[in-house]
Amino acid sequence: MKSRIKVALKQLGLVLSLAVGLMGSSLKAGAQEEIAFATNWKAQGGHAGFYQALADGTYKQYGLDVRIVQGGPQINTRSLLSAGKVDFLLSVPQLALENSRQKIPTAMVAAFFQRDPTTLMAHPGKYKDLADMRRARTIYVARAAQFTYWPWVKHKFGLSDDQVKAYSFTLAPFLADPEAVQQAYATAEPLYIDTFKPDVFLLADYGWSGYSNIIETRREIIEKNPDLVQRFIDASIIGWNNYLYGDRKQANALIKKDNPEMTDAKLDAEIAEIQRLGLVDGGDTLKVGLGAIDLKRFASWFDDLMEVGLYKPGEVDLETVVTDQFVNKGVGLDVRKRLESQ
């Protein structure tokens, strides 16, 4: 009798233990941390991997309930990050430097474009290279660019502020003037011109070593919740691999829902250019995974900015601007290998 009671109690214990374990697993699986992620423009191909991670459930698998907040011409997503309205921001490293100079505590934690897609574009056959653009009467450059890459271009290739007119994010003035030059994203404006194929001069091909499409977050999040940062970066890396080498349909549908101006044809053209130029999956990413950051490269690029007078020595503490603690770990390399072999 005592033996049967012991067995019964043991079985009951196992059942209770299993129930508690299942309850814990259920709670863990169901506990999704809400985060807001702001992009730098309307939904497009350059955001595709993040939409993929949302669409295919990768963020959810990493315990994240992600809300994507679109940027745009009239939306200042940068202020949302510093004000605590969003947790992560898709940005450019120059603006992370500017935050440091203004003592705003944010930092760059990943770089999803290994090469900056910024270009100067011209009508076919007008200029042979960037230096030849000294002959151009008009170069359309956005105001923000005059405090980022433009001083470097001007210094390196002998261009002048006298050539600059404000770029208002419309192609009309450039199209109307066959001698004009205009700033552009290699994955955007040159693909939208249907009357001719412009000559595109990628700054990265001329020595501009800056990253782009970086992930920026507040330093308090890095310090207090590094696991959250790691999960968001890892899930985004997986999302990009799944998008570039897997089924894109769900992600494309979400992008088009957020930005009805996008079409499958536009997205296909953007992604083809992203892959041709190795923006996401080129360089160091082949060995250490997407989102890679090389701190020595970043410091060298910052030296270039100081050389053209954008920053003074000691004005910015690079150790507070950028960290590689969340990248360079080989995350997603197995996913890419598996998808490419299918």
> 80-109, pLDDT tens digit by residue?
999 999 999 999 999 899 999 999 999 999
Q: What is the pLDDT of residues 2-20, one digit of tens each?
A: 444 444 434 444 333 434 3
Query: What average pLDDT does range 172-199 have in this prediction?
Result: 96
Q: What is the pLDDT of residues 271-281, one digit of tens each?
A: 999 999 999 99
Separation CA 31–CA 24 (nearest Å) = 10
Q: Could you tell me the domains of the chain?
A: 31-114+212-341 (3.40.190.10), 118-206 (3.40.190.10)
Residue 224 reports pLDDT greater than 90: yes
**With pLDDT > 70 as the criterion, what percentage of the chain qualifies?**
91
pLDDT at position 7 is: 41
**Does residue 21 surpass a pLDDT of 70?**
no
Rg (CA), the chain: 24
Look at residue 30 in the predicted model and tell me its pLDDT. Answer: 59
Q: Map tokens 């977050």 to a residue.
A: 217
pLDDT band at 26 (very low <50, low <70, confident <90, very high): very low
Q: For residue 31, what pLDDT is reported?
A: 81
- pTM exceeding the 0.85 threshold for the entire prediction: yes
Question: Nearest CA to 318 among 334, 332, 300?
Answer: 300
User: What average pLDDT does the segment 293-322 reach?
Assistant: 96
**Segment 104-140, tens digit of pLDDT:** 999 999 999 999 999 999 999 999 999 999 999 999 9
More confident call, 9 vs 174? 174
The Cα 16–Cα 7 span in angstroms is 14
Residue 190 CB partners (closer than 8 Å, separation 6+): 119, 121, 184, 197, 198, 200
Measured CA to CA, the distance from residue 83 to residue 121 in angstroms comes to 36
Any idea what the Cα angle at residue 70 is, between residues 68 and 72, rounded to 5°? 170
Of the chain, the percentage scoring pLDDT greater than 90 comes to 85
Mean pLDDT score, 296-309: 96
The strand ranges marked E within 75-196 are: 88-91, 106-113, 118-122, 139-141, 164-166, 181-185
| pLDDT band per the 50, 70, 90 thresholds, residue 320 | very high
